[in-house]
Amino acid sequence: MTDRNPSSPATRVVAADADGIAEAAQALRDGALVAFPTETVYGLGADATDDLAVAAIFEAKGRPSFNPLIVHVADAEAAKRLAVFDDRATTLVETLWPGPLTLVLKRRRDCPLSLLVSAGLDTVAIRVPANPVARKLLAAADRPIAAPSANRSGTVSPTTPQHVLDGLGGRIALVLAGGRCEIGLESTVLDLSADDPVLLRPGGVTRETLEALIGPVGLPAVTATGSAARRSPGLLSRHYAPSVPIRLDVLRARPGEALLAFGPAPANDGPAMNLSPTADLAEAAANLFAMLRALDQSAVSAIAVMPIPERGLGIAINDRLRRAAAPDDDDAGNRID
Ligand code: TXA
Ligand code: MG
């Protein structure tokens, strides 16, 4: 594969002046990973319309599953080109953007974002950060930027450039060094994609502030296993799952089945797609949700998936495929990072 984010010692740290911001914006436009400051925590940014760039985020973080990511945009107008805004969303953002509030909304039909940022869901989480460096970067990049916290999965979120380097040095192209994050705690995540607003993650904007603007805001239901309490709320049973069964670790599809191949593949009578003919896991991750959806719509009895190696991004791909194969499996492996 082409290595867009060459490994150590290539991580450059640049000051957040005009030159640094221009370099960071160009790197993002080229598909590279750039850590940048927001008012909450440092984000690990990538072009949210570029499947491969988004896949590289998961790779750099060592994330064992594909959780949906927050998309950052320069202003509400840009957000409205991506997602469906109702009166509640409009009211909230008039008062609270830019700032530490993320809204989960339905993707627009013509939404140009990678399906991987939504982990295959028909919703997307969006926010307009207040940090001036982040705002200048978004304006210069002139495209939506997906950015989870810029740390390795399972470690604490970074609030200084040094924290970012400690975790991701050698794994990403650039750190835009813009000092310490004022808030130091991730944004509030509010799900407005259904009738009742649900507070998925507490953060800088309080529930009281939200309720003063749009009325009652609920908390996620706790499942029988209590797993919603583990702060991966809103996602339980809401992962995208194909409507037909999935069979894993299959070398040859049966008649009537679609084949989702990986690497050199046998001929298939029915519909077939290849996640990566060259067995490149980043390419496979980038294609995963779009190909599952396409095969799901092709009137087959099942989707047969060839074996994917259980290493690197393959771990997240297999996690996702196992959940798709067993949609009732509550939230196995769902975790926060
Ligand atoms: O403060 C922040 O929000 C930081 C900075 C960098 O902006 N970003 C951040 O991003 O924390 P991330 O991707 O790590 O947070 C994603 C959160 C997770 O709790 C995830 O479950 C939720 O947002 N989320 C994202 N998309 C979602 C969706 N479509 N539906 C439900 N929840 C979603
Ligand atoms: Mg995080």
The string of pLDDT tens digits covering residues 225-265 is 544 433 343 444 456 778 899 999 999 999 999 999 999 99
0.75 cut: is pTM over it?
A: yes
Task: Return the closest-CA partner of residue 116 out of 46, 61, 66.
Answer: 66
**149 CA to centre of ligand 2 in angstroms:** 4
State how beta strands 246-247 and 302-305 pair: parallel
Name all residues whose Cβ lies below 6 A of ligand 1. Answer: 38, 40-41, 43, 67-70, 100, 102, 104, 118, 121, 123-125, 129, 147-149, 186-187, 189, 191, 200-201, 234-235
Q: For the segment 312-328, what is each residue's pLDDT rounded down to a tens digit?
A: 889 889 988 998 887 55
Interatomic CA distance for residues 149 and 290, integer angstroms:
25
Q: How many CA atoms lie within 13 A of 199 on its CB side?
A: 20
Residue 307: per-residue pLDDT: 98
How far is Cα 56 from Cα 310, in angstroms, rounded to an integer? 17
For residue 69, give the ligand 1 atom closest to its CA.
Answer: 13
Structure confidence at residue 2 (pLDDT): 44
- Tell me the DSSP string of 225-263: T-GGGGS-TT-TT-S---SS-EE-S-SSPPTTEEEEE-S
User: Which of 189, 190, 289 gets mutated to test ligand 1 (max ligand atoms within 8 A of its CB)?
Assistant: 189
For residue 43, the CA-to-ligand 2 centroid distance in Å is: 8
| Spatial contact of 178 and 167, defined as CB atoms under 8 Å apart | no
Residue-by-residue pLDDT tens, the chain, 337 positions: 444 544 445 899 999 999 999 999 999 999 999 999 999 999 999 999 999 999 999 999 998 889 999 999 999 999 999 999 999 999 999 999 999 999 999 999 999 999 999 999 999 999 999 999 999 999 999 999 999 999 998 888 899 999 999 999 999 999 999 999 988 889 999 999 999 999 999 888 889 999 999 999 999 876 545 444 333 434 444 567 788 999 999 999 999 999 999 999 998 889 999 999 999 999 999 989 889 988 998 889 999 999 999 988 898 899 889 988 875 544 434 333 4
Alpha helices for the chain (secondary structure H)? 18-29, 51-61, 76-80, 87-96, 132-141, 161-168, 207-214, 281-296, 313-325
List, as ranges, residues with CB under 5 A of the ion ligand 2. 148-149, 337
d(CA 333, CA 337): 12
Mutation test residue for ligand 1: of 44, 58, 69, 191, the one with most atoms within 8 Å of CB:
69
Tell me, what's the pLDDT at 156?
Answer: 86
Residue 178: CB partners within 8 Å, gap ≥ 6?
16, 36, 37, 131, 133, 134, 161
Atom of ligand 1 nearest to the CA of 337: 14
Q: Is 12 helix (H, G, I), strand (E, B) or coil?
A: strand
Give the closest ligand to the alpha carbon of residue 101.
1
Q: How far is the CA of 166 from the centre of ligand 1 (A)?
A: 22
> Which residue, judged by its Cα, is nearest atom 20 of ligand 1?
68
Ligand 1 atom nearest to 201, measured from its CA = 19
Q: What is the pLDDT of residue 229?
A: 39
Exposure string for 277-302, b = 16+ CB within 10 A, e = fewer: eebbbbbbbbbbbebbeebbeeebeb
Q: Given the CA of residue 235, which atom of ligand 1 is nearest to it? A: 31
Is residue 28 within 8 Å of residue 55, measured between CB atoms?
A: no
36 close to 64: Cβ distance less than 8 angstroms: no
Q: What is the pLDDT of residue 327?
A: 58
Task: Please name which ligand lies nearest the alpha carbon of 43.
Answer: 1
Q: What angle do CA 103, 104, 109 make, to 5 degrees?
A: 120
